[in-house]
Amino acid sequence: MADVVLFHHALGRTPGVTGFADELRRAGHTVHTPDLFEGRTFATLDEGMAHVGQIGFGEVIERGARAVEHLPAELVYAGFSLGVLPAQMLAQTRPGARGALLYYSCVPATEFGPAWPDDVPVQVHGKESDPLFADEGDLDAARELVASADRAELFLYPGDQHYFADRTLPSYDAVASQLLLDRSLTLLRTLDTPAARPDPNERP
């Protein structure tokens, strides 16, 4: 089973985020949910982003890096929206990364290095008409990632909701959320196949 770090979105570590982590745990995976906001949660995206503006995007990424210092190297990094920033940075730069799940957001791979690592599979999920995803560069970044990396997948869903996999919010889309979960679990299952894990008894 995979060891996953799931970073929350701009509303904070809400019950919707921890509930999604529980879905992954029910499939047998270990899931860590660091709190990048030190206990604070917000009712609206504007409020959450105002807090991010106060602490800085760089601090959000640094908190994500500090949150995994005590964890093993072989991790799958996942993030919702804002949480994609530390997830993507760690997947690209921390040795041992096994995969990445980027929900509702994606930044150009060149933000964190010359290219996406060839040995790290990644999925990007977003709504095709979500203005925060489709109109602010994230979709373009995801398409560039898929075009340049052998093990990258982009999944687009109909609609314009941003936080569509958070069952506690009005933007929740049950059908798309289930597809997102199923596809995420498919990636996590591939990491447990014999081909994905080197045989310690096999001679070089």
Domain of residue 81, CATH code: 3.40.50.1820
> Which pLDDT belongs to residue 80?
98
pLDDT higher than 70, residue 203: no
Q: Collapse the DSSP code of 12 into the 3-class scheme (helix H, G, I; strand E, B; otherwise coil) and give the result.
A: strand
Q: Stretch 19-38: mean pLDDT, rounded?
A: 97
- Tell whether 63 is covered by a domain: yes
Residue 203 lies in a domain: no
User: Structurally, how many domains does the chain consist of?
Assistant: 1
Q: Evaluate if residue 155 carries a pLDDT over 70.
A: yes
**164 located within any domain:** yes
pLDDT in tens, 60-115: 999 999 999 999 999 999 999 999 999 999 999 999 999 999 999 999 999 998 89
What does the pLDDT look like over 176-201, one tens digit per residue?
999 999 999 999 999 864 333 433 33
Classify residue 64: in a domain, yes or no.
yes
C-alpha radius of gyration, the chain, whole number: 16
> Which DSSP state fits 177?
H
* Residue 202, domain member (yes or no): no
Judge whether 199 lies within some domain: no
CB atoms within 10 A of CB 62: 15
The answer as to whether 180 is a domain residue is yes
87 CA to centre of own chain: 6
Give the whole-angstrom CA distance, residue 111 versus residue 90. Answer: 12
Supply the range of the domain harboring residue 182. Answer: 3-190
Q: What is the pLDDT of residue 169?
A: 94
198 within domain boundaries: no
